[in-house]
A and B are shown apart, each in its own frame.
Chain A
Amino acid sequence: MAFTQFVVNGLLIGALFAAVAVGFALIWGVVDIINLAHGEMVMLGGYTSYWVLTLVTGNAEGSPLLFLVTIPVAILVLFGVGYALQRTLVSRVIGTDIFLTLLVTFGISIAIQQLALQAWSANPRSIQVSFADPSFTVAGLVVPKMKLVAFVGAIVLTAALYLFLQKTRTGRAIRAVSQNPEAAALVGIDVEHTRAVTFGVSSAIAGGVGAFIATILNIQPQMGLIYTLKSFVIVVFGGVGSIPGALVGGLLLGSVEELTAGFISSRWTLAVSFTLLIVLLVVKPQGLFGEGAEQ
């Protein structure tokens, strides 16, 4: 039973990792950079939701409905942040040496962390969502209600992104830039704008997930790095450029981490995750869904 409980816990948290990683994968695929500041978008989303709720209720506590209202705000704010970052900074290094792109996004990451530290201090914070009964039991398995809400929210965000990419004109433009930027320009797509929209959309998803994370874990200014690392593992694990791959990778990583924490120790979670990544890269270098996977 303990094994099943850990897996359930892992799937619930893994969906959040997956949604963050999907945005990371999108930027990697379309803008062709590894965005080391992606985790900071999660952090900023968490703080946006936190402060909006604080503004309304005075103490970052509220009903599930009131909390959900803060999600679109976090999404909109982070879209703007991502769009502006791409237009002002990241666009200057696209197509240059990979180390330069890493340096710039690492610099952005540090700058955001330090600004957040100055603005909000290093004190961990969280959003308290009030449920009459915080969990329920199904077949002997305990399911925390807020984790379930966060799970559903993350799945909805991931599915929405997938549908956006497949069904909308802007989504097609994003896929076109991802597959062939020169041909995209040829057919009249504004490639720079599309890249900025991609950065904005990816940041928005990360921001929305950050808001959910603020309800089940603490948020603090230096939390971003861990989400960037997890995203990297998930994307490589699932196959670069594949949204289904990132989803499956996220759910797997969540389960592996919960099982590791439950049966060994939470200190070993990252070590086990990266070990699995190395093994997978040896066995299947393109990742689970890499090459030929639908964009």
Chain B
Amino acid sequence: MATTDTDTTTTEDPILAMNDVTSGYGNTTVLHDVSMAVEEGQIACLIGPNGSGKSTLMKSIYGFADVQSGSVTFRNEDITGRSPQENLKNRMSYVLQDASVFPGMSVHENMLMGGYVFDDDEQAAQRAEVLYDEFPVLGDIRQQKAGTLSGGQRRLLELARALMVDPDLMMLDEPSIGLEPRFIDDVFERIEQLNDLGTTILLVEQNAEKGLSVADRGFVLASGEIKFTGTGTELLNDEEVGRLYLGG
């Protein structure tokens, strides 16, 4: 049975936690007193209607939105308002919802940009080679301009680039958006593989059933507040969640 937002921080030692976070952009507030926790090794999925604040929640964690009150912790360290550079060095990475490749650069240059925080091109190049072994399709097209890739290839590139810092936590905003159905399964397969290798995943997914089906923990966000939380299966089977958010 899914629970309400009073029980969103259910673990004692989460890898990531939001504590009563109110955030937004400038004078606009989008999230209201949001608390949630993600345990190490989990896949956590955030669902909710359009405009509910899902992307803002991710951006609040990563330093792209203004946290007006409350705190964000990563491995019990306060990271509220930290820059993306600091978060990357802290082995957190983030894949945006919109196309975030550099279209005029080659696949390889895009990969090197993923290791920009290393301050060492050689280290970035070595890491890219490791990832080409895991993503052979990218290795095959490493000299191709990213702007010429298909939607599925771009998504793979974004995923691989986010892995350049060997993240402990990876945040994915709508990984299936804009993809043909045959690529969606590939992307989710990749996400589960990454999780199996030890990367904690926090994903926002408009395709709620797909997202919750792979999630150890799910959160339902509406009007900037966490309305329900539970395991992925619990949320999928919850009548109210189904009626309100899954179209069931």
Q: Bound complex: CA of A185 vs CA of B121, how far in Å? A: 18
Given A172-B112, A172-B113, does the pair A183, B84 have CB atoms closer than 8 Å? Answer: no
Residue of A172, A182, A188 most packed against chain B (CB within 10 A): A188
Is residue B94 within 8 Å, beta carbon to beta carbon, of the partner chain? yes
What are 15 A-B residue pairs whose CB atoms fall within 8 Å in the complex?
A172-B105, A172-B109, A175-B102, A175-B104, A178-B104, A179-B103, A182-B96, A183-B96, A185-B64, A187-B113, A187-B116, A188-B89, A189-B116, A190-B83, A190-B85
List, in ascending order, chain B residues with CB within 8 A of A189's CB: 85, 113, 116
Q: Would A179 and B104 count as touching, CB distance under 8 A?
A: yes
Give Cα A280–Cα B152 distance, bound, in whole angstroms.
38
A173 CB-CB contact with B under 8 Å: yes
Q: Point out the residues of chain B lying under 8 angstroms from A184, CB to CB.
A: 102, 113
How many residues of chain A are within 8 Å of chain B by beta carbon?
19
Most chain A C-beta atoms within 10 Å of own C-beta, residue among B64, B84, B96: B84
CB of A97 within 8 Å of the partner chain: no
Q: Which residues of A contact B88 (CB under 8 A)?
A: 187-188
Scan B99-138; emit 1 where CB is below 8 A from any A CB, else 0: 1111111000100111011000100000000000000000
Judging by beta carbons under 8 Å apart, are A182 and B100 in contact?
Answer: yes
Does residue A267 face the partner (Cβ distance < 8 Å to B)?
Answer: no
Interface residues of A in 138-197 (CB under 8 A from B): 169, 172-173, 175-176, 178-180, 182-190
Across the interface, do B100 and A180 meet the contact criterion of CB distance under 8 Å? yes
Q: Which of B94, B116, B117, B161 has the most CB of A within 10 A?
A: B116
Q: Is the CB of B85 within 8 A of A188?
A: yes
Chain A residues with CB below 8 A from B112, complex form: 172
A179 CA to B113 CA, complexed, in Å:
12
- Docked complex: B77-101 residues within 8 A CB-CB of A: 83-85, 88-89, 94, 96, 98-101
Residue in B64, B83, B100, B104 whose CB lies within 8 Å of A294: B104
Residues of chain A within 8 A (CB-CB) of B109 are 172
With A and B bound together, what is the CA distance between A295 and B146 in angstroms? 13
Taking beta carbons and an 8 Å cutoff, which residues of A are in contact with B?
A: 169, 172-173, 175-176, 178-180, 182-190, 294-295
Tell me, rounded to whole Å, the shortest Cβ–Cβ distance linking B23 to chain A: 17
Residues B116 and A183 in contact, CB atoms below 8 Å apart: no
Q: Inside 8 A of A172's CB, which chain B residues have their CB?
A: 105, 109, 112-113, 116
Q: Which residues of A contact B100 (CB under 8 A)?
A: 180, 182-183, 186
- The answer, among B84, B102, B114, for a CB contact under 8 Å with A179, is B102
Which B161-196 residues have C-beta < 8 A from chain A? 161
A165 CB → nearest B CB, Å: 11
- The list of the 5 closest CB pairs from A to B, nearest first, reads A183-B100, A188-B117, A188-B85, A179-B102, A188-B88
> Separation in Å of the B113 CB from the closest CB of chain A?
5
Distance in angstroms from A113 CB to nearest chain B CB is 35
Interface centre among A180, A184, A185, A187 (most CB of B within 10 A): A187
The residue from A169, A173, A180, A294 contacting B101, defined by CB atoms under 8 A apart: A180
A178: which B residues are within 8 A, CB to CB?
104
Q: Say how far B52's CB is from chain A's closest CB, in angstroms.
A: 21
Tell me which of A169, A176, A186, A190 contacts B105 (CB under 8 A).
A176
Q: How far is A283 from B128 in the complex, measured between Cα atoms in Å?
A: 43
Minimal Cβ-Cβ distance residue in B for A166: B109
Contact between A183 and B102 (Cβ–Cβ < 8 Å)? yes
Distance, CA A22 to CA B116, complexed state (A): 26
CB within 8 Å for A175 and B121 given contacts A187-B114, A188-B88: no
User: Taking the nearest CB of chain A, how far is it from the CB of B200, in angstroms?
Assistant: 18
* Alpha-carbon gap, A70 to B103, bound state (A): 39
Find out whether the CB atom of A188 lies under 8 angstroms from the CB atom of B102. no
- A254–chain B nearest beta-carbon distance, Å: 28
Using Cβ atoms and an 8 Å threshold, which residues of chain A touch B94? 186
CB nearest to A294 among chain B residues: B104
In the complex, which residue of chain A has the Cβ closest to the Cβ of B119?
Answer: A169
- Closest A residue to B63 by beta carbon equals A185
Chain A residue nearest to B64 (CB atoms) is A185
In whole angstroms, what is the CA distance A8 to B213 when docked?
71
**Which residue of chain B lies nearest to A191 when distances are taken between CB atoms in the complex?**
B84
* CA A204 to CA B102, docked complex, whole Å: 26
Is A186 in contact with B102, judged by CB distance below 8 angstroms? no
